[in-house]
Amino acid sequence: MRPRLKPIAEQVVVITGASSGNGLAAARIAARGGAAVVLAARNGEALERIRDAIVSQGGRAIAVTADVSSREQVDEIAQRAIEAFGGFDSWVNNAAAGIYGTLEQVPIEDHRRVFEVNYFGTLHGSLVAAEHLRRRGGGAIINVGSILGDRTIVEQGPYSATKHALQALTDTLRMELEREGARISITLVKPGGCGTPYPEHARNYMDVPPRIPQPLYHPDVVGDAIVFACATPRRTLYIGSGGLVSSLAGQVAPRTTDRIMELVGRRMQQHRTESEDPAKRDNLYEPRQDGEVCTDQAVWMRRSSVTVQAQKLPRLGLLGLAAGGILAGAQVLAKARR
């Protein structure tokens, strides 16, 4: 039974990891579209500033301080949404933690922590949301994965592993809910490189500050796709042609892609000319300075994505996605030849 989703203006949307980056971008876009937003993250002070800004502009929002690695705290997010707005219609699992370093450099406890946040946090949110949305008669669950769930990269093994796990979690959740006839849309959003504060917030075992490789997209592009999925059923939404090309290359020519990653992957993720703000560095176990959509690094970001817009088209989304991938691949080959 195909889910029937409300227009965004009639929805209550829960967003985890809403204190920065893609989650904050999605919260602002949803609020501007008329939705009531439930902002959840560990940094309560930052969330309160974000909530106050949304309310001052005529929006509706509440802030819930929570760590998604705790099932009890995720339950509290849902309970607060029920108390404030009578429930919710969409739940966005966006909270994530990152690490730069080789598999040997990263201590086992840090590997586990990344899984606790990225995988188990999404599992907690998905189970809580599914239980509520069954009773409500339907809705949407949006999981924010990554292109690294298709094609891993050196120096981000633990993070990539969690995003591979999110692919399996999302697909399993979709099948189980469809089998029982639940009218719940399940979408996996797969961003490529985005200009979020991820490099500042990630724990770093490299000897220089980290960065996200180009091409980069503004977090608003991801936020727009997330909000679109709240109101429009889609299985998967890829963000950006660069990430799509990486995914396709990894499937079509995996060994060649491995070699490219081995040669340039580490250098692409190092920012040798950039200094770090120690107040933002490393939020793996504790929240740090927060509240910004974009990275501090001086990078150029694209403000739109043809790949995303193609996937929004009814029935033609897959055709547009394929065409976008072919076009992007041709552009990459042309640059390589030059």
Sequence letter at residue 269: Q
Q: Hey, what are 101's tokens?
A: 């370093």
**CB-based contact 14:92 (threshold 8 Å):** yes
Distance between CA 54 and CA 45 in Å, rounded?
15
Q: Which residue of the set 100, 159, 198, 238 is catalytic?
A: 159
Q: Of the candidates 179, 77, 167, which has an alpha carbon nearest to the alpha carbon of residue 128?
A: 77
DSSP characters for 117-150?
Answer: IIIIHHHHHHHHHHHHHHHHT-EEEEEE--GGGT
Length of the chain: 338
Q: What angle do CA 296, 212, 228 make, to 5 degrees?
A: 85
Is 159 among the catalytic positions?
A: yes
Q: Of the candidates 71, 44, 73, which has an alpha carbon nearest to the alpha carbon of residue 62?
A: 44
Helices (H), 137-253: 157-179, 198-201, 219-231, 241-252
Q: Of the candidates 45, 37, 109, which has an alpha carbon nearest to the alpha carbon of residue 80?
A: 37
What's the N-to-C CA distance of the chain in angstroms?
Answer: 50
Distance between CA 36 and CA 243 in Å, rounded?
31
Per-residue CA distances from 40 to 9, 84, 100, 201 (Å): 20, 14, 25, 17
Q: Of the candidates 16, 112, 107, which has an alpha carbon nearest to the alpha carbon of residue 68?
A: 16
Distance between CA 122 and CA 109 in Å, rounded?
19
> Which residues are catalytic, by number?
159
